[in-house]
């Protein structure tokens, strides 16, 4: 089962282009998809040559995929229809998504309102109370995920210096936030779960990808799905303030 953070192209790309100690980086294409190349090809950032242990760990997940009865992807048919038509021959593929609780989609399943797990306890009360005071589509929601380099105090101080009207929480109830009328834009690293949640909620995306499948997901968000834009980065790989403002 390829779920969680892997997009449907993830295994295809690494399975075809991993050779010994090197991760080859030719252009990648398959029916139903545009040509993918560096820097939008899956990677660990700019160093796509010799890959570290994390890539080995990722690849091991797919080491016996050819023996699987079914390959399940956290996606949905309409999003990858052309790809699935092509993949029906080499692999018995099923899309099982979007795995977003029913209350945020068609509301056909009673009491299906949460994933049922969080890395940390979300600060739902503060988030929703603050959002309820804002105008429709007036809020930019920024998710730093679990990899933010600044702690809560440092982040709050940085935001205060720039005089933004903001609310900072350690962990937000993302589905509730994206579904709120006040949210008009989502700045995200473009992990697959966040990408699917944004698309399902109809919230435009500003993509700030770093590595793994994030770069390819961001490419699809902008160039294929047409639901967002990707920030340009400087020589250090950083999206500057003015660039983020331009994308918003």
Q: Is the pLDDT of residue 5 over 70?
A: no
Residue spans of alpha helices (H) in the chain: 10-17, 53-60, 81-87, 124-131, 152-161, 174-179, 192-201, 214-219, 241-247
Instruction: Give the Cα-Cα-Cα angle 52, 40, 22 (nearest 5 degrees).
Output: 30
DSSP state at residue 222: I
Residue 57 has what pLDDT? 72
In the chain, what are the helix, strand and coil shares in percent, each to the nearest 5? 35, 15, 55
State how many domains the chain has.
2
Same structural domain for residues 182 and 224? yes
Does the model's pTM come out above 0.85? no
Backbone angles phi, psi at 93, to 5 degrees: -100, 140
Residue 157 has what pLDDT? 76
Same structural domain for residues 210 and 121? yes
Same structural domain for residues 90 and 115? no
pLDDT tens by residue, 15-56 = 554 444 444 444 555 555 556 655 555 554 444 444 556 666
Write the CATH number for 209: 3.40.50.2000
Same structural domain for residues 1 and 31? yes
Same structural domain for residues 173 and 62? no
Using CA atoms, how far apart are residues 56 and 227, in angstroms rounded to an integer? 32
Same structural domain for residues 161 and 228? yes
Which residue among 60, 77, 97 closes a domain? 97
Same structural domain for residues 91 and 110? no
Sign of CA dihedral 123, 129, 133, 136: positive
Residue 175 has what pLDDT? 92
Same structural domain for residues 58 and 128? no
Which residue among 72, 97, 122 closes a domain? 97
Same structural domain for residues 116 and 235? yes
Which residue among 97, 116, 136 closes a domain? 97
Q: Is the pLDDT of residue 169 over 70?
A: yes
Using CA atoms, how far apart are residues 108 and 244, in angstroms rounded to an integer? 38
Residue 231 has what pLDDT? 92
Using CA atoms, how far apart are residues 194 and 100, in angstroms rounded to an integer? 10
Same structural domain for residues 115 and 225? yes
pLDDT tens by residue, 55-65 = 667 667 777 77
Structural domain boundaries, residue 236:
106-248
Residue 139 has what pLDDT? 94
């Amino acid at each position: 089962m390829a779920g969680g953070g892997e997009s449907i192209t993830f295994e295809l790309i690494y399975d075809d282009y991993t050779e010994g100690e090197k991760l080859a980086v030719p252009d990648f294409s398959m029916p139903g998809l545009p040509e993918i190349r560096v820097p939008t090809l899956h990677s660990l950032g700019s160093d796509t040559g010799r890959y570290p242990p994390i890539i080995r760990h990722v690849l091991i997940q797919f080491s016996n995929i050819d023996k699987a009865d079914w390959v399940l992807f956290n996606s949905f048919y309409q999003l990858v229809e052309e790809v699935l038509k092509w993949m029906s021959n080499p692999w018995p593929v099923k899309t099982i998504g979007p795995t977003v609780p029913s209350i945020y989609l068609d509301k056909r399943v009673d009491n299906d309102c949460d994933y049922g797990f969080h890395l940390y306890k979300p600060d739902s009360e503060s988030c929703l109370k603050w959002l309820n005071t804002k105008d429709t589509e007036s809020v930019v929601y920024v998710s730093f995920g679990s990899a933010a380099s600044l702690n809560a105090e440092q982040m709050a101080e940085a935001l205060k210096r720039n005089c933004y009207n903001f609310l900072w929480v350690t962990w937000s109830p993302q589905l509730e936030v994206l579904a709120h009328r006040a949210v008009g834009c989502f700045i995200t690293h473009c992990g697959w779960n966040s990408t699917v949640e944004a698309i399902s909620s109809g919230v435009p995306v500003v993509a700030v990808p770093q590595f793994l499948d994030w770069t390819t997901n961001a490419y699809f968000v902008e160039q294929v799905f047409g639901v967002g834009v990707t920030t340009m980065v400087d020589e250090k790989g950083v999206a500057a303030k003015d660039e983020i403002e331009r994308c918003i």
